[in-house]
Amino acid sequence: MPPVPPARNLKELPKFRDGLSYLYVEHAFIEQEAQGIGIYDREGLTLVPVAALGVLFLGPGTRITHAAIRALAGNGCTVCWVGEGYARFYAQGLGDTRSALRLQRQARAWADPGLHLEVVYRLYEKRFQEPLPRDFSLEQVRGLEGVRVRAAYARWSRETGVPWKGRSYDRRDWAASDPVNRALSAGAAYLYGLAHAAIVSAGFSPALGFIHTGKLLSFVYDVADLYKTEVLVPAAFLAAAEGDLEVERRVRHRLREQIQEARLLERMVEDLLDLFQGLGLPEEAKEEEEDPTRPGGLWDPEGEVEGGVAYGGDGPGEGAEELEG
């Protein structure tokens, strides 16, 4: 694999990594409050530093105003409604980037079988300490991955003393699972939300997944899986080791500690960019957006032509409005 170029001009990278990961709110009104976001609940009014926030999770009993959603979207904060059984309803503002260049690179890598396979290998490779043997078939890699995940569960079960009888969950009956499985499911909802926020923030599509395909959040699962054994598994086992009651609340706390220890906010966007680096696709040289309101280009089989120009008129450069008027 080519080494990662150290120098990048990435305005959105610092923004995501310097922020807070997530905030969970339930039984509250969320309103715009003097240009900021205010949470009204039993304790009073709490102002939220929303520009620095990756995801706002809204639990049961939350009411949010149009103005608040607009302010959240304007600050590139992803909003997730988390419901009973931690099913997620996503919303997203536009990311911090207005360029479609990264999304186009993702789409090209996705559509080309050779490049697609390369990205799949890179995704798997990021999870292992040692480099993966290149002559392994995908089937063999998936086998290795299964062993790796089982070893992680066994290790954390040993370290925390929480018994592990395998990953099991009933989609229809949340309470039927054992506490550590409930913690894993609840924690996964938060990890997915964070991966979603990173993907949108960096200007990629959550739908174009490489290992996972066919779902609108396939790429979210690809990215979140990179960090599951590192942050989610310890968080869930540590939360379960503290007792059975309110394990869903405690896993939010533990997950935050693990995320900080693993420097996840910093790594997520970096890892995303690494995936499509050096694939022979148009590189990010002209990535810099001096003017986000500049019109995009027009597609042509010979290569992109300049947009925001009226073609077919007598004088090139005539405005479109003039033509119509």
* CA–CA separation, 212 and 145 (whole Å): 14
The secondary structure element, H or E, covering residue 13 is helix 12-17
SS3 state at 277:
coil
Nearer to other proteins, 47 or 154 (CB): 47
Binding site for other proteins (CB under 8 A): 20-21, 23-25, 27-29, 40-48, 61, 249, 252-253, 256-257, 259-260
CB of 46 to other proteins, least distance (A): 4
Direct distance between the N- and C-terminal alpha carbons of the chain, in angstroms, rounded to an integer = 55
Spatial CB neighbours of 56, under 8 Å, sequence gap ≥ 6: 22, 23, 25, 30, 48, 50, 72, 77, 78, 79, 80
145 is in an annotated binding site: yes
Facing residues of 89 across strands?
81
Sheet holding 20-25, edge to edge: 20-25, 53-58, 78-82, 88-91
Nearer to other proteins, 46 or 104 (CB): 46
Other CB atoms within 10 Å distance of the CB of residue 217: 18
Burial class (CB in 10 A: 0-12, 13-18, 19+), 291: exposed
Nearer to other proteins, 42 or 171 (CB): 42
Nearer to other proteins, 246 or 288 (CB): 246
CA distances 294 to 70, 143, 289, 297, 308, Å, are: 23, 48, 9, 9, 8
Radius of gyration of the chain (CA): 22
* CA–CA separation, 240 and 253 (whole Å): 12
Nearer to other proteins, 259 or 275 (CB): 259
Nearer to other proteins, 105 or 250 (CB): 250
Q: Which one-letter amino acid corresponds to residue 137?
A: S
118 is in an annotated binding site: no
* CA–CA separation, 28 and 45 (whole Å): 10
Tokens of 136: 């392994």
CB of 259 to other proteins, least distance (A): 7
SS3 state at 29:
strand
Is residue 237 a contact partner of residue 159, using CB atoms and an 8 Å limit?
A: yes
225 is in an annotated binding site: yes
Nearer to other proteins, 24 or 276 (CB): 24
CB of 193 to other proteins, least distance (A): 13
Which residue ranges make up the annotated binding site?
A: 145, 212, 225
Which residue ranges make up the annotated binding site for Mn(2+)?
A: 145, 212, 225
